[in-house]
Structure 1
Amino acid sequence: MSGGIVINAFGGLAIFLLAMLMMTEGLTIFAGSGLKQLLGRWTSTPLRGVAAGILVTGLVQSSSAVTVATLGFVNAGVLTLRQALGVIFGTNVGTTMTAWMVSLLGFGFKIESFALPILTLGVILRLIAPRRRWKGLGKALAGFGLFFLGLAILKEAFAELAHTYSAEVAGGTIAGGPLALLLVGFVATVLTQSSSAAIAIILTAAAGGVIGLDMAGAAVIGANLGTTSTAAVAVFKATPAAKRLALGHIFFNAVTGVVALLLLPAFLWLIGELAEMLGMHNGAATKLALFHTVFNVLGVFLMLPLTGLLAKLLERLFQSVEEDIGRPRHLDSTLAATPALAVAALHEELQRLLGIVTGILHSALSGAARTPDLEKQADAVHTLTEAIAGFVASLRADAMTQQAAGEMADALYAARHFREAARLAPSMRLLVKQAGRLEDSAAGQPLQQVLALAGDCISEAPAAEQTTSSDTRLDELRWISRQARKGLLDTALHRQLSVDGLDIVLEALYSTRRALEQLIKGRLLARGWQKTEIGAEKGERQEQIAAQVKAE
């Protein structure tokens, strides 16, 4: 093999990869937030997710980019696992668009006749367009032109290769068996991180006579399997939900690939007959594009009915503490028809939420948890409070008594207070660290008093009889926080604390006080549900306290 062939092949591949990158980035900019909104909103069912995956992947010309975006949506909780699996199934069909561009445009026309004008138009638009969106379109058009120029160089390199080794290559003796070509396709996709590039190489090699149709089919299957590497790499530090999605992606491609490989001879015969019926006479490249599409569509038909079952199986994997926190244990949609049972279940869930938030604040005060862990747990509390709000919203207000409706409102207020307390837990941990540094300053003693009072507030027993002292606790907390603030200002005046340091500690002090206030207020509202058990007089007192909390 001459050095010129190698240089041309790698040069064509380099231009091709650059073109794919430019097309993806340019089309993403041109589309703006519309594609993200499509992925985030138009995926209520797995079937609609498949359609969204096909459309978005076809538009941005990158299944890897769509896969990573979908992983991000799952991380953020925008998509459920079941919805996201549909999108992933669709990306495998959408990525076949590249094969069709290569086969129909790359081999059916003289490439230079339209590639250079498109490239020129793209560059001009990129340079003179006044808006970022249209510059993105120019970049995409330039990438589209480069796509075909790179393809032309690849065609030339593989034509020379086929001419040089015509006898051996025509018989497929150099390439080895289908399994070897499957591995080649897999490795090519992993190395280039682009199944489109790998498939373009395979189609070009088959069209140039370098490999036979059966070998090229095996290589296409390998390239399809190689797309899972992007998802696998993207989830090393992702959430458990994203890891499950990546595993679902690998499972889909593995099942589809195994079925296609086992039925490869029958598939290729069917593709040949189908190509004849459709009048496709453009040779091996068109048949491979059709093969790539058909076996991915078949994979969707095989896996789509199993999406719900697959999601349930995957949800048992990669369990985390945060997910356990965010998943309600006592709320069930079947309780909506019985308000009394719904109120009881909501009370149990609210007590569980109180215990979780108390534990988070304990960890922050003792320094037992790192700040990133506290932030993750706070996010989980946010998820749980959203679930509580959704449960309350699902209940029929007209079927409730006035008392039950009031208790539901109190539950929402209490959940909101608990969520805010958990969110501020990292600031409490920061105050603990800063108080240790300022132990010998004027702020040292009042800061320690704040932390001691914080410990008392967090550890306070949830007995209803203690409710009447909670407003006193709030006053005490505010008074000691003011003393600590004065001590910090005095420390800064004596140059024992920098201005920036003062701002940090004051913010941590304010957030700690607010976290404790939110905890106390949430407790007051949660305990208000027990007023029927502790007598009318205390019940009236709790109603007054609840009204005061809401007003504040």
Structure 2
Amino acid sequence: MNLTSLLQALGGLAIFLLAMRLMTEGLTLFAGNRLKYLLGNWTSTPLRGVLAGTVITGLVQSSSAITVASIGFVNAGILNLRQAMGVIFGANLGTTMTAWLVSIIGFSFNIEALALPIITLGVVMRLVAVHSRSKGLGDAITGFGLFFFGLDLLETAFADLAMNLGSNLGNATLSSPLLMALIGFIATLLTQSSSATIAIVLTASAGGLMGFEGAAAAVIGANLGTTSTAAFAALRATAAAKRLALSHIGFNLITGLVALILFFPFLWLVGELATLLGIHNSPAAMLALFHSVFNLLGVIIMLPLTGKFASLLEKLFRSAEEDISQPQYLDTTLSPTPALAVAAIQRELARLSNTVIGLLRDAFDTNHSNTDLTKRSSAAHTLGGAIGSFIAGLRADAMEQSTADDLADALYCARYFQQTTQLIPALHNLVQGQHQLADQPCKEALASFLLMAEDCLDPDLSPENPAIAPLVDRLREAHRQARLQLLNSAVNRQLELGELEEILDNLDSSRRAIETRIKAGHLLDHNHKAADKAATTRGLIEDDVG
């Protein structure tokens, strides 16, 4: 084996990987928030997600980048699982554009004459550009030129290697497509770029180093290897992101498995299509066609199963926050009969009440992290919003006035609980800050307020309870005394002004958190009575049916 050719091949691969990175990062920077806009607004259905994923991946030239971006958008709540799955499926189809770019342009022109002017243009634009977006475009153009320059080095190196080896690697491995698929998988795992692996396979095939059958199997392996990027990106991600990564792995595994099982029929089909398209004399173009056909088949197989696949995945990696935020008792089949929906709403509100009380108790415990408490409070806020949306979706023309009044109380109750959840982190901050205060009078005043606030967590908040009103009055008095002491300490320079403002904000938010929870408790007690009436109504209906 010629050492010079081997080094040239490695150099070409290094330049190719650099080119892919420059193209991806440059185009992503140039696109800016447009990428977020496109993924957020073109993906209302899985089919539209497939189209968006295909187009954007074809432009950015990196399915891995789109996969990682989709995982980030799922984390941020911009995309739901079904939308993101469509994008992932489309990204696999869009990445086949690299193979077509290599086969159509890479072997049809004087690559060196084409690459050098493009690189020069990109570098000049990068140097003279003022805005970051223009610099990103310059990097992308430079990467585009390096793409062809690296391809030229690979093509020359593989032609020399084939001549020196004097044998065809593809024929030697014809009987073992699994071995070639494994080679493609490992190569992609090492380079973290299926596009780079496929470019290597295409140039090796065009240079006579690898037969069509062996190259096709290696392309399948490269497609499987690209799942490693999603797996690595999701290791420390949220539960939703892990499910998306698993959907990406599942798509590629199923697609690759089908392609290997139907390997020789696939080769025949691609051969017929290549003859029909007039590209049967170009091994690179035939491989690009093979890559596109089996990814398209994967989309055709998986797209109708997106809903069921997503439902299955949603049962995995469930986080505590997701369990909190998902309604357990609300059933859309009750929407046409609001009187019967009242009982379900009451049960959901009772569950939300218990969650909020638990969060408030945890806020008084300094052992709980603020990050965890904020996440769970946000999940409880989401549940309150879901209850409100369910109530808003009930048919107003089908309900009596008493039912409408009960639902209005329930809606207010949910809103009060939502307000409480937004204020819980401030209460936890106040508890932590109180322990760290150096000024003893302030520390004692805040301790008295917090003790009174904790006493208000008694779950019995019915309006008939005579102890509630005096309890709230004492809370407000403790709040007033704490504020007064804080202000006095600031005047006496025992407390910094910035520290004073932060503590006052947390103190006021803590009082509101306790009071809004008490208001919600009053309404929830009223809702209990409404639920009893709904249960009686349901019993009468069932008796009539019987």
What is the TM-score with the length of structure 2 in the denominator? Answer: 0.90
Shift of 1:368: 5.1
Partner secondary structure for residue 318 of structure 2 = coil
Please name the residue that 1:478 is paired with. 476
State the AA in 2 paired with 1:343: V
Shift of 1:105: 0.6
Please name the residue that 1:547 is paired with. none
Distance 1:25 1:242 in 2: 22
Q: Out of 136-145 and 197-206, give the one that drifted further.
A: 136-145
State the AA in 2 paired with 1:509: L
Please name the residue that 1:462 is paired with. 461
Please name the residue that 1:63 is paired with. 63
Distance 2:355 2:477 in 1: 28
State the AA in 1 paired with 2:446: L
> Quick one: structure 1 residues 227 and 358, their matched pair in 2 at CA, closer, same or farther if it must change by over 3 Å?
same
State the AA in 1 paired with 2:188: T
* Conserved 8 A contact 1:271-1:287: yes
Shift of 1:416: 2.7
Please name the residue that 1:513 is paired with. 511
Shift of 1:16: 1.4
Is residue 50 of structure 1 aligned with residue 41 of structure 2?
no
Is residue 221 of structure 1 aligned with residue 220 of structure 2?
yes
Shift of 1:501: 4.2
- Report matched runs for 1:429-440 at 5 Å: 429-438=428-437
- Report matched runs for 1:402-441 at 5 Å: 402-438=401-437, 441=440
Shift of 1:97: 0.7
Deviations 1:406-443 (A, max 9, x none): 44344333323222322332332232223233487011
> Quick one: structure 1 residues 128 and 17, their matched pair in 2 at CA, closer, same or farther if it must change by over 3 Å?
same
* Conserved 8 A contact 1:231-1:249: yes
> Quick one: structure 1 residues 444 and 300, their matched pair in 2 at CA, closer, same or farther if it must change by over 3 Å?
same
* Conserved 8 A contact 1:30-1:137: yes
Please name the residue that 1:549 is paired with. none
Distance 1:371 1:532 in 2: 37
Deviations 1:22-81 (A, max 9, x none): 222222233333332232233232222212211221122111121122222322333332
- Report matched runs for 1:261-410 at 5 Å: 261-281=260-280, 283-367=282-366, 369-410=368-409
Please name the residue that 1:77 is paired with. 77
Distance 2:510 2:503 in 1: 10
> Quick one: structure 1 residues 439 and 527, their matched pair in 2 at CA, closer, same or farther if it must change by over 3 Å?
farther
Partner secondary structure for residue 459 of structure 1 = coil
Please name the residue that 1:123 is paired with. 123
Deviations 1:385-424 (A, max 9, x none): 2322321232233333344344434433332322232233
Q: What is the root-mean-square deviation in Å for CA atoms of aligned residues?
A: 2.6
Deviations 1:489-519 (A, max 9, x none): 4445666655554444333323322322332
* Conserved 8 A contact 1:61-1:95: yes
- Percent identity between matched residues is 56
Deviations 1:102-137 (A, max 9, x none): 111111211123223333333333344455444433
Is residue 111 of structure 1 aligned with residue 111 of structure 2?
yes
- Report matched runs for 1:533-544 at 5 Å: none
Q: Out of 266-275 and 395-404, give the one that drifted further.
A: 395-404
Partner secondary structure for residue 424 of structure 1 = helix
Distance 1:381 1:44 in 2: 26
* Conserved 8 A contact 2:439-2:495: no
Distance 1:532 1:415 in 2: 15
Please name the residue that 1:541 is paired with. none
Partner secondary structure for residue 442 of structure 1 = helix
Q: Out of 360-369 and 215-224, give the one that drifted further.
A: 360-369
> Quick one: structure 1 residues 470 and 27, their matched pair in 2 at CA, closer, same or farther if it must change by over 3 Å?
farther
Unpaired runs of 5+ residues, structure 2, are 533-546
State the AA in 2 paired with 1:462: L
* Conserved 8 A contact 2:420-2:512: yes
* Conserved 8 A contact 1:364-1:429: yes
Distance 1:295 1:170 in 2: 20
Distance 1:304 1:497 in 2: 62
> Quick one: structure 1 residues 162 and 176, their matched pair in 2 at CA, closer, same or farther if it must change by over 3 Å?
farther
Distance 2:154 2:519 in 1: 70
* Conserved 8 A contact 1:214-1:264: no
Unpaired runs of 5+ residues, structure 1, are 535-552
Aligned residues: 532
Distance 1:32 1:287 in 2: 35
What is the TM-score with the length of structure 1 in the denominator? Answer: 0.89
Distance 1:176 1:21 in 2: 35
Distance 1:193 1:252 in 2: 18
Deviations 1:338-369 (A, max 9, x none): 12122332222222211111111111113353
> Quick one: structure 1 residues 426 and 159, their matched pair in 2 at CA, closer, same or farther if it must change by over 3 Å?
same
* Conserved 8 A contact 2:410-2:527: no
Partner secondary structure for residue 238 of structure 1 = coil
Distance 1:55 1:410 in 2: 49
* Conserved 8 A contact 1:189-1:227: yes
Is residue 96 of structure 1 aligned with residue 102 of structure 2?
no
Partner secondary structure for residue 18 of structure 2 = helix
- Report matched runs for 1:176-191 at 5 Å: 177-191=176-190
Distance 1:30 1:393 in 2: 42
Q: Out of 270-279 and 233-242, give the one that drifted further.
A: 233-242
> Quick one: structure 1 residues 170 and 415, their matched pair in 2 at CA, closer, same or farther if it must change by over 3 Å?
closer
Partner secondary structure for residue 167 of structure 2 = helix
State the AA in 2 paired with 1:70: S
Q: Out of 289-298 and 105-114, give the one that drifted further.
A: 105-114
Distance 1:511 1:67 in 2: 40
